[in-house]
């Protein structure tokens, strides 16, 4: 939580001093943006530590107009890296019925240059991938239906658990963790089939790229191509 004072006062975007904190990552002030300044220094220290392999940065936001959960990612000139970046959101789409890959977008809009995703995506090397996970304030629509399901606290927590499951799947895919991919959560009813991510592509869903373990780059590339 990087905006505790603003959220305490009822703001969902601005800090106590009126700053949109997710636009000041390039040069955060220790006085005006102390949480950003501290986290940025921590991330840079981790990145420069040879004992630490910093692989993912994901900031989490609520979205006031769009439905479902979805991600923003970065655009890279390296096509393979660009395609590999799509692997994590595609795996998350397999695990979370309320996550929309068709709403996921990869961009480098100038207006987003001061965000954590954009700034750190340019700072860190090609072994680190940065995303924004957006989740609707309101509701989500399941694939194949037109009815909106209101988000509840439990639904938000379930999406968080599915993000954790997706990390497990990602590292098992990379042979960095032994065992099969994570099973369907026990919280789901037995008669409900495992959700499959739609193969459709949305208008904001340009192309993608990401990070993989060095031992299984081909595996991740195959996955990104098979679900395009």
Sign of CA dihedral 160, 163, 169, 171: negative
Q: Return the DSSP state at 51.
A: T
Strands in 3-80 per DSSP E: 56-63, 69-73
What region does 68 belong to: left with phi over 0, alpha with psi -120 to 50, or beta? left
The active-site residue, picked from 77, 79, 80, 134, is 134
Instruction: Show Cβ contacts of residue 170 under 8 Å, excluding neighbours closer than 6 positions.
Output: 87, 88, 91
Q: How many CB atoms lie within 10 A of CB 65?
A: 7
User: 178 an active-site residue?
Assistant: no
Catalytic residue numbers, as ranges:
134
């Amino acid at each position: 939580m990087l905006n505790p004072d603003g959220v305490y006062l009822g703001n969902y975007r601005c800090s106590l001093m009126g700053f949109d904190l997710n636009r000041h990552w390039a040069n955060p002030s220790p006085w005006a943006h102390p949480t950003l300044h501290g986290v940025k220094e921590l991330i840079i220290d981790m990145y420069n530590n040879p004992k630490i392999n910093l692989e993912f940065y994901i900031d989490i936001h609520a979205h006031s107009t769009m439905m479902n959960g979805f991600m923003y990612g970065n655009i890279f000139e390296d096509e393979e890296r660009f395609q590999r970046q799509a692997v994590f959101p595609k795996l998350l789409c397999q695990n979370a019925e309320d996550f929309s890959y068709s709403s996921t977008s990869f961009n480098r809009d100038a207006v987003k240059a001061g965000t954590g995703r954009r700034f750190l995506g340019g700072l860190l090397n090609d072994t680190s991938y940065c995303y924004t996970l957006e989740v609707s304030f309101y509701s989500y629509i399941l694939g194949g239906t037109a009815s909106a399901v209101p988000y509840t606290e439990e639904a938000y927590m379930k999406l968080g658990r599915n993000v954790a499951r997706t990390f497990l799947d990602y590292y098992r895919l990379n042979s960095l963790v032994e065992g099969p991919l994570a099973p369907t959560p026990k919280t789901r009813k037995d008669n409900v089939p495992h959700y499959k991510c739609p193969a459709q592509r949305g208008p904001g869903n340009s192309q993608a790229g990401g990070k993989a373990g060095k031992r299984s780059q081909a595996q991740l590339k195959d996955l990104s191509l098979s679900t395009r």
